[in-house]
Every structure is written in structure tokens, then in C-alpha cells.
Structure 1
Amino acid sequence: MFNVETIRKDFPILSRKVNGKPLVYFDNAATSQTPQQVIDVIVDYYSNYNANIHRGVHSLSQEATDKYEQARHKIQNHFNAKFAHEIIFTSGTTHGINLVANGFSSILKDGDEVIVSALEHHSNIVPWQMLCERTGAILKVIPMNQEGELVISEYDKLLSNKTKLVFVNHISNALGTINPIENIITKAHNVGAAVLIDGAQASPHIKADVQKLDVDFYVVSAHKMCGPTGVGILYGKEEWLNKLPPYQGGGEMIAEVTFEKTTYATLPHKFEAGTPNICGGIAFGAALDYMNAIGFENIAKYEHELLEYGTQKLSEIEGLKIYGTAKHKTSVISFNLEGIHPYDVGTILDKMGIAVRTGHHCAQPIMDFYKIPGTVRASFAFYNTKQEIDALVEGVKKAKLMLS
């Protein structure tokens, strides 16, 4: 049985106060909170078996290596990758995207085309712009509509035999829109293009099956799904990972080194140069254990209730406009109060212990589309409550009264 009050007890930070008020944490799209079960795994690592991995013959190294590789298998199973070596540990989603972009520098040529969407985070825009500058490829953009949905009929027009890569987020971090990635992937493959899906915002809400999606690359960050910062994964199909050159040179990613020539290690070590975030990888596995024990279907159902409740309550405030009204969306509400800067609203809410995100959310093209400087973004997680949404609504009303 899903019991939010029981779940909340797993998160120590939720019991603290901010500015003398009980914390209401609605910035989950930026970083989720961490349960005690994951914190305990982090403490256990540094307390009992802190050592470098894959290289040592001593017991601590072997124990750390076993735990780290067990985490890789947990992640493989969670995303249903065919092979464990298709899971590459990274420092996060941005690292994974840049790794792929760097690899395609040796594949793309002048006149090739790369497609991104208008709903992207800057991390899924800038690397592709840099890639196009290096290779002479052309960047094209799938437009969006007023509801915050991609215009798929325009995507159809952009696709051609010149299209080599398509990059789309699974869920928009700024608006919560769930993109039709199955359709996008199929159509890209029909013209022979590879597809990378940015799953950073989807991973806390949706259990992606990479084999069922038939996606070529999928990237996520642990800190979005109850894990630590500074660690994430790139999933890549084996055949694609074998085609791409190493992203970084150093220890671990080599087979043999001489001053005349170096040969590279097999997957996944080819892309894991240097000492990794060992504790982070192990804790990522623990975070997946925690969320799977609750159940992603239970999480999705409850968060949808929060989304509907929050949308209804906030919509009742005169002068409040919600941006991103897609038919399919997750528990994110981006909004503004008429005539009031979002930063000012966020500052008032903080005084009341309510944490929201304000600004363009690293998605400036979306804000330019709506001709606004940014939004107030309230993003809900499975440990939030309707009572906290009520506190947000009262806070917004107070901000409106103070700032109008």
C-alpha cells in the first residue's frame, strides 16, 4: 500500500524548517531528496570499504568493485538494457550527452543534419550546436505549440536521408510535457538516423524500457531519482558504443599502452577513464532499489493526483497563468502571476519555507517562445502532499497581495 506519510519518514530533510516554517520542497525537477536508506549506503561505503576499484587485489578493492558492478547490473535491469556493458557510468546527464556528441564528431560530415526539439534543456542544445560547428552539420528544430507540445507534423517534414541524429527529451523540465518518443524514435529510424533521449526528467516518474523503445542512447542523472549528485548513466546500444571513439583518455579505459600506440579497453571501460564516483554509483543502485520497492506505477498514480490537485487549486487564483498544458504531462506546474516577476514570487515563497524554482530553467528558447522572462516552477514528487500544495496556494496568494 502506498502511504505518503510513511514514505516521508524516510527523508530526514523533510522534517527541517526553513525561515521558521516547515519545509515544503517543490524543486524536485532540479534535484530530488535522498532517503535515509540511500544515505546509509553512502555512509557504509566510506566507513567500511572505501577503496579504488578494478585494480586492487586486496579485499577492500574487491569488495568495492563487486558493489559497484552490482549497481551497474541493477541499472541494467531497471532500464532493461540487453547487456550490462551497455551501461556507462557518467557524472550525469550532461556528461552523457557530451560523450555522444564528441563521438559523433568523427562520424558526421558537412551537410548532414541533426534534429533537436524546441523543448530542450540547454544541455541538449549547446553540445549539438558545438558539434555542428565542428563538423559542418546543420541543426534543425522541431517547433512547439502554445500548449507546450511538439508539432510532430513539422518533425515529419524535417526528416530526410540527410538526418543522422535526433535528440529529444523524454519529459520537458520546464513544462512537464511528456513527449511521444516512441513515435519520434520510429520515424528517425525509418530514415536511418540514430536517436538520443534525454531521460533526466522522465526517470523519476517513468520506468523506461530501452529495448522496447529501441532507442540508441538514453541518459539519466541519479540526483533526479533519490540518488546522489555527480553520477548518472549513459545507455547506448552495443553496436553504437563500439563505433564511437573514447571520450577521455587515462587509466581504466586502456587495454595496452606503449609510446608507439595505445589500444582501448572493451565496453564499458572504454568510456570510463579515471577513478569514477564509486560511492555515487553504488548509491545510485540503492536509490533504484528504494524507488522500485515503492513501485513506479504507484509513484505515477500518486503524482498524477498531485498534478491534478495543484493545477485545479492554482488555476483558481485570478491573474495566474499556467504554461505547459499538454494532454500528457508529469507533475510540474510552471506559472506566472500577471504583472509580477517570477523571482519576486519565489522570494516571498521562500520566506514561507516553500522551495520552488524561478527563471528560465535552462530552457530559454521556451521562455522566448512565450515572450516571458521565466516562470515559477513547482515540481512535485511522490513524498509531497496535498497539504503542501495548499500551503503553496496560500503562499502565492500572499505574494500576489504583497507585490500587486
Structure 2
Amino acid sequence: MPFHDICILGAGPGGATAALHLARAGQPCLLLDRAAFPRDKVCGDALSGKVLAELKRIDETLLQRLPTLPWQVASWGIDFFAPNGRRLSVPFTPGFNKATNSAAGYVAKRLDFDNFLVEEVRRQPAITFRENVDVAHTERTPTGGWRLTDKAGQEVATCRLLLVANGAQSAFVRQVAGHELLPAHHCAGLRAYYEGVAGLSPDNFIELHFIEDFLPGYLWVFPLPNGGANVGVGMLSQAVADKKINLRQRFEEILATHPALAPRFAQAQRQGPIRGFGLPLGSRHQSLSGAGYLLLGDAGSLIDPFTGEGISHAMVSGRHAANWAAQAVAKDDCSSEFLRNYDAAVYNRLGQELRVSRMMQRLLDYPSLFNFVANRAANNPTLAETLSMMFVDIDLRARLKQPSFYLQLLFGGKKRTLLRAEQGSASKRG
């Protein structure tokens, strides 16, 4: 097998993004995936504004093509439903006009979106892409690189630097990086596709329902093309175990009996099975690198603790991984000391947002406090916009350094922050 400077495990959004940025920089790489594309991936399927910003950073034509494709719907905001039933509608762009504004978010099945990125990968001569390759074992070589083998012990590839983007269940993450699956920082989820769900937003607002007798879990309803919807539930694995919850049973019970949701699902038809998945949450700071490797996306436990959103964080980590991997190869320095620059870059961009989301996640343990926040947000533009900022490409760091922000957050403000101006400047940061 030929030797490669950089090998990427996993062709999901994180791995594909890393490969595409490397190709743009003129750095060849090997990209391996155990599946063949297009392939399904259990997910909520929401593409936030941060995803759009990362597409633009790869190639602006990708962002221009996305709205023209039949497998997506433009989403203009999010509806939060508090435990008391109060709905908080937060548009991604305040005062949006669908005739003149570009959508700040989309919803698309991972089957289609991941393949959209992989199709771009296939166009790049600098990327050697191999599908149906299951890397079962990794071992260090005498020269400090990696030897990759399959289950039969046959060599798959050798490389100098390994970018690990093969998900939450990665054997490398557990056996080499030493990450433990801690129930307090892991979410159990279920997802199903439905057709005929009544009451979907005409502006395709995505829905997050925080139901009092299901806390600290939540239920989502994300609209899809042709009247379809991605519907699912998520709850901390620790809570599932402590409360002995049958997640599948509770999911079906909520759709059948909840006063607001049952009428909407009375005539809906489920398309295919209910599928389960696990989400390693970014609710604690973990090492993202070591000697000769970088962890991307789910493999680095970078999923938003409050919303469960992970696609954009995988793409952000993919971009930074490509940058530091190219530098490591150029400097011939794949040491753990040098690669810690990657950790710093990722957490500099995402760390503050993950901390804010962790605080929001903790509200789920206090329904009355959650209700209070929802009630305040309805009359507080600053708080509502802060929730919106979790889904669009706005860097929270600068805003959280301003003392006036906290006064507005607590007591409201007469003047609405100009999100468009911040969106324009956000692309220059991180």
C-alpha cells in the first residue's frame, strides 16, 4: 500500500470538510469510509447557519447550489416550546423577508447532505477516496506514523498523520485517545421520518419541545421536503438510566397522548423504523489530539449539549484540522505538543458556545426556571437573539465580553441588536 502523509477516517461532514480544505491547499490526502455513499446517518438533519458558513469557506459555489437542490427545505427560524407550553419563536433573521433574504438555515436528510459533500470530494484529484473500507486496527510504526489494518489483519494504508472523523463509536477514540463514554456527557436519541404531520410552520421553523414529564429530555420536529418531517427525542444517558426510561416507548406515548402533539400526529404515517443513536456531548473539555492524530466532530465529543446540533461543529473542526495537519506535515512535526494548537483553535471558536449551551442544558433540570426564561425571552430581544445565535454563524465570544450584554440579557433592552451587521463581521472571525 502506498504511504500517505495524511489519512482521514470517516467521510461524514467533518472528514469531508477536512479533505476538501486540504485539497484546496494543495495537500494530498487519503479519505477512508467503511460505508458506500449515499448512505443514511441517524441525525436531526438540521443545517444551521454555521453549516452554511462552512460550506462557503470550502467553496462558495457549494452554498449557491444548496438552495437549488430538491432534497432540502429552507428554514427561517426555531420554535422553542417550554414545559408550560409557551412557544418562543426565534427567527434566524429578525424581520426576514423570504422574497429578498437568503435563508439562514436548511433541513436535509443526512443521506443527501453527506453525499452532497462526498460528490465534491470525488471531484478533487488531490483526494484519494476509498469506500467500503473498515479500518479495524491502528498501530504506530517505527517511524512514528500509523499502520491501518482491517479485521483480517490485512494492511489498508500507512500514513504519517491520522485525522479521526469516524464518529462516536470509534474504536480509536476509546482505545488510543482514551476517551470514556460518560453517561452524564452523552445523549441517547431516537429518530423517525414521518409524512402528514399537521401544523408544520409555513416558514419551516424547526421545533424543540421541552415537555415537563419528559425532562431533562426533549422532542424535536424538523420539516422536510414534500410535507415530511424528521421527528425524534433525546435525553441524557445518565437520566435514562437513573429514571429507567424506555425511550422508544415514551417517544411513541408522547406522540399519541400529548395534548398539543397528538392531534398533529393523528393522521401522520411513519416512514421506516425508529432508529437509535448516541451523541457524545461537548459539555466537558476533552483533548482533541495526541502524537500523530487529531479528533474531529463526534469523535471529539463536540456536539452541542443543548440543541444536539453536531454537523456544523464537525465542519468547524474539519477546517481547523486541515489547517494544522498541513502545517504539521510541512514542518515535519506531528508531535502532541505541536498538534495541541488544533485543540486551541477549535475550542477558541466553539468553547464559549459549548459553555452557553451547557448552561441552557442545565435549565432542563428546573422546569420552573426554564418557563421563566422562556417567558422573559418572549419580551427580551437580547435573550431571544442569543438563542438564535446558537444556530447562525455568529461568534459569541466578543459579545459575551461586553458588560452591557449581561444587563440586556437580564433586564431586556429597548434597542434590538443588529444581527445582520454581526453576521457580516462573524465571517472574519474564527
TM more than 0.5 = no
TM-score (norm 1): 0.27
Structure with the bigger percentage of strand: 2
TM-score normalised per structure 2: 0.25
